[in-house]
Amino acid sequence: MSASVRVRKVGLVGWGAIGRVVGTELAEGRLPGAELVCVVDNRPVTDAPAPQRSFEEALRECDLIVEAAGQGVVREWGARVLEAGVDLLVCSSGALTDGELARRLRETGPGRVYFTGGAVGGLDLLQAVRGLGPLSKVRLTTTKLPSTLHQPWMDEELTERLRGAESPIELMRGTAADVPAKFPKSTNVAASVALAVGDPEAVEVVVVADPAASFTRHVIEAAGEHGSYRFEVNHRPDPANPATSRVVPHAVLRTLRTVLGHGGRVL
């Protein structure tokens, strides 16, 4: 007699550029072992392939929540999801640079928390070299179109500089502990690097606005006594949401396949 296969009941939070791709793949059965049960969004959703539910309803109906709606959702609902015994896949990893929140999510259960690296590579190597000793330098430089980087906290002078930019502008330089909070939709990569390195304070983050940036660029530079490393990725922005890259939902799907136990492969 064949063993029964567990089907994960998935609730998707966020029906935007990321959620639409992930939800469509789930609804079309392209991830065996997972069923899209509902969609959660703070706006009315009329074109989703599953019914719209409240967050409370999703917790009752699902055993896996995929967050694709922003850092605020992770802060408000992350621990509650895990306390309900539901697993949580975090796309907005920028929220995890909040040390207290990251600690709460690690210590809360019985649900389990996962995160996806999103639009950047090399994280597995950064995790590996930690075993050789600390890195003396880790820097992430993120370059995007000015229109995707404007934030409510910016004053009128900086706003006008962004609007009229004719050459690259360095908007902020800080650590992965503070930059993601200033650019919550554009610096999840900084948090992913920080999680791989193990210390948000050890990662310098530079945010650059470039009017000629037809691609979103992330450059990771790291060095220590044991070696030096450099990774660069250039992604086309998602046409529906230029603040994110087209590859991000596919990175989420890859992580989902790992959570579901597909493939049995390291790569």
Does the 123-243 domain belong in CATH 3.30.360.10? Answer: yes
Q: How many CB atoms lie within 10 A of CB 71?
A: 26
Calpha distance 212→79 (Å, rounded): 41
The per-residue pLDDT for range 212-241, each reduced to its tens digit, is 988 889 999 999 888 999 999 998 877 777
> In terms of DSSP bridges, do strands 237-238 and 241-245 run parallel, antiparallel, or are they unpaired?
antiparallel
> In terms of DSSP bridges, do strands 237-238 and 227-235 run parallel, antiparallel, or are they unpaired?
unpaired
Residue 150 known to be catalytic:
no
**What ranges do the domains of the chain cover?**
8-118+247-259, 123-243
Which one is catalytic: 150, 218, 226, 262?
A: 218
In the numeric block, which tokens belong to residue 250? 């596919």
The per-residue pLDDT for range 100-153, each reduced to its tens digit, is 888 888 889 899 999 887 777 788 888 888 888 888 999 999 999 998 899 999
Look at residues 207, 144, 198 and name the one whose alpha carbon lies nearest to residue 170.
207
29 backbone dihedrals φ, ψ, rounded to 5°: 75, 25
Calpha distance 190→197 (Å, rounded): 11
Topology classification of domain 8-118+247-259: Rossmann fold (3.40.50)
Question: pLDDT above 70 covers what percent of the chain?
Answer: 96
Question: Cα angle at 66 between 140 and 204, to 5 degrees?
Answer: 10
